[in-house]
Amino acid sequence: MKLTRTVRLSLGSDVHGRPRAAPWLSGGWIVPVEIDVALDGTPDKTTGYILPIQRIDQAVQQAALACPQDLEPPVWLVALRTALAPALPHPIARLTLRSHPLLERSIEATMHDRCILTLRFDFAASHRLHCPALGEEENRRVFGKCNNPAGHGHNYRLEVEVETPMGPAALQPEQVARIVNQHAVDRLDHKHLNTDLPEFGDTNPSVEWIAKTCFDWLERPLASAGGTLRRVRLWETEKTSAIYPG
């Protein structure tokens, strides 16, 4: 079982609250960040806890403020994991640093020279869910309002998770953003998916198939840049999303 705790704190200061430089934190300003800690463990039979969350909060705050902040973010996460390990009696499955709502950096338990970048993008598009093989009445029954002949629109959110090496060969967030915008977002944004994209000429542009199509578009360009596309997640609404591969 995994327990995940999100710890919110401000970096850019030392353990005494004095400002110190942190080039990756908005030019050295003291800024709020979130750190997600995922622990592997078995709940205690008495308390039901894998570990009390107050203990996780305290350990993360002490370790984060003590870690050198002149390190690159992925290396800083490795240093944080090293500092946290003695204070937490359960294995750390994953650490995530969120310094912006649209960007996360993570490392998993076995990662020492690689990290995961997760970026989020927004676009708007319209589509119609309709299967020519079905009759008009059956299409209306299956797809309801989504079968409107004029189509309908969504504000989509695309999340892209890419594994990259650390160090000089590291794939930077701005590189990932350029690739995702060029090969996916710009192709989808403000388009009628049924009529403007040949990929959906014979395929219903459901959230499931749009997610798979984005993965297919992005896998090779990201590999050419030195990254490995792990998955994409596409939200059609707040309540509906698809992940590929699942």
- Helix 207-224 crosses helix 173-180 at what angle (to 10 degrees)? 130
Kindly tell me if the per-residue pLDDT of 22 is higher than 80.
no
DSSP string, 68-124: -TTS-HHHHHHHHHHHHGGG-SS-EEEEEEEEETTEEEEEETT-SSEEEEEEEEEEE
Distance CA 106, CA 65 (A): 18
Q: Tens digits of per-residue pLDDT, 202-213?
A: 888 999 999 999
Which residues are catalytically annotated?
A: 146, 190, 236
Looking at domain 116-244, its CATH superfamily turns out to be: 6-pyruvoyl tetrahydropterin synthase/QueD (3.30.479.10)
The pLDDT confidence band at residue 150, using thresholds 50, 70 and 90, is confident
Averaged confidence pLDDT in the chain: 89
At 43, the pLDDT band (50, 70, 90 cuts) reads very high
Q: Are 79 and 128 in contact (CB under 8 A)?
A: no
Show me where the domains of the chain are located.
Answer: 2-111, 116-244
Whether residue 68 has pLDDT greater than 70: yes
**Per-residue model confidence as pLDDT tens digits over 166-179:** 989 999 999 999 99
Q: Determine the angle formed by the axes of helices 73-84 and 53-66, rounding to 10 degrees.
A: 130
**Residues, the chain:** 246
pLDDT tens per residue, range 69-100:
778 889 999 999 999 999 999 999 999 999 88
CATH 3.30.479.10 fits 2-111, yes or no: yes
